[in-house]
Structure 1
């Protein structure tokens, strides 16, 4: 176990680390050659919260799952498939989503209104429902407290690695665990992206309070990553809190509320950064911190613009300390700034001061840009607010991957 900030302890287990959660991931034949269908199930109904894509072209799984979360605030299971987004598939696609919900409920013996559905993959292709049907039954038979790793594999598309984390914190004398799993690599942009994230916890939390916490945290984590500027049809973040840690029900007024929110934020930030780092074809994680703005929203807007700039991303890939691209991106972010006050750093190397270039060691800067994580700091000297956004470099492989995505 590893000590982390906020008195958290890092533990193994991912999405099944919390009490009362089981998962499975199996090969259903939807996506050739790898696991492609998974289940997460709580032993008891759980308070639920969710954040969903802002794209007006939405897959039916988003509509169905959002309706469940909003109307009841309770989930007990999630079924997810990779290889097929079941988006833009018309009325049949809607019926197929509802059928997945029903088959999952029957396989684990619960009501269908307690089941969330998620899909990811190619848009516009009908689901192979015979394979989905058998896959759900198979996955239900494989549910296990160690199944989180299999589930993490089953939701991947162009991802190069699984994305999992679990942490523990003490709340009201009880050990509370928050675990999470995510997928995402391409079609990633702020305000949700081609990503799925599932978070489980044995904390006892009111659903309305959980929703407010998730919405606020999403704005500071998942909504601050970008890979390529595209937002998907299927994105969602779901949290299930089943209360099996058996502490006093948490509400926002509770003096220990911040401990739970800190754990939830840690899990979301870890998953968000893992998605950005695993951008299609990427070799580096880019962290852009903007300071000295009048408001946090200004800092967010500028940081997102910089980290999303194709010119900045290609310069980082090429280890080119081209700070002019950074300051130019800041200038087109739609925020009123004074160019004559801007300082830019690559790591600890000051490359621009008061809007003008400095003499700096190019070899040192190039060496820094070869790191797997590159930090850019832009100080506007106009206020006390700040924010950080996350992205990745843009490489030749990104084009190769997306030029032949369907084949």
Structure 2
């Protein structure tokens, strides 16, 4: 089970945050326990009563729920993460609000512990550290392909599952390339010890800022130390802007020279001197991981396991709406666009998620089976079975819904 604080960095909760929601039912979720929280949000473990799975619910902090600027940031986080479908990024299922108007994001409940908690027990073997960093690089690279820079890559925002797979969480300050900045020009946003020089100076940033932050995380994983230490934030800022880190071999003799080269390039002061993409950095990390991995290592390090093809499936049964009247309808917060396939137990439509501004697939129980109780049970069983699985080769189930005329549908990513 994921420990408390396993989703975002922990901080003391306000009294109403720690007791008001636990035991209550919000939408179709039964809130079970508090997992962690920060300035903008509080995260709870909950049970999805329809799909019978555990989820994480991130609520906008109650004392900030009335601020429109905070609501916009919270919605932006949900949209940034929900548009990413990658095995190394925590899946966002939906965004909703309580009867009192308090926003929350429903996300996958990630088994495991934060990388921060893992590192509290000491530095990692070089091959393991490189393998974890390669997975983080793959997830961040997928975000970059969508024009999203995380801006707060750190061990507290990475969850490591028992099988060694990672999940990147907390896109709360992520910046999309086509969005105006929500902070004043010249204002630094992030966690000081992991911020790049240009980020600290409040300058324009791009994907190379995440390259820097991942370099800091990698350094910590193999040495157990921060590359730019300091007694306070001012000392750490001065070190990031002016100092060069001690070679990893100074703290850990015998580490491969390749590790030093990767760190030197990732932590270059000038963005132009760094890796220009995380795909490039990831290739070097995978080579380093493979060189030090013992025989029989888990397939977590296999290159095909940390990538999802970016192009759509080559063939898809696309057709016009066959008289069911769904195309063009608004169902909840989904606008049905067109029929893209189906047969047997379901008909699939492309739709727009109007809340999260993403394209999804809606799989409907065929109209002729809508009044068949056994067919409905089988349809829900399919949804529950699939939603309990978290694997890059299995399609994610975001949620299950029902039309006004009693027709069930599943919400899934649209590839």
Provide the TM-score with structure 1 as the length reference.
Answer: 0.28
Q: Could you say which structure has the greater relative contact order, defined with CA pairs below 8 angstroms and 6 or more residues apart?
A: 1
Structure with the larger strand share: 1
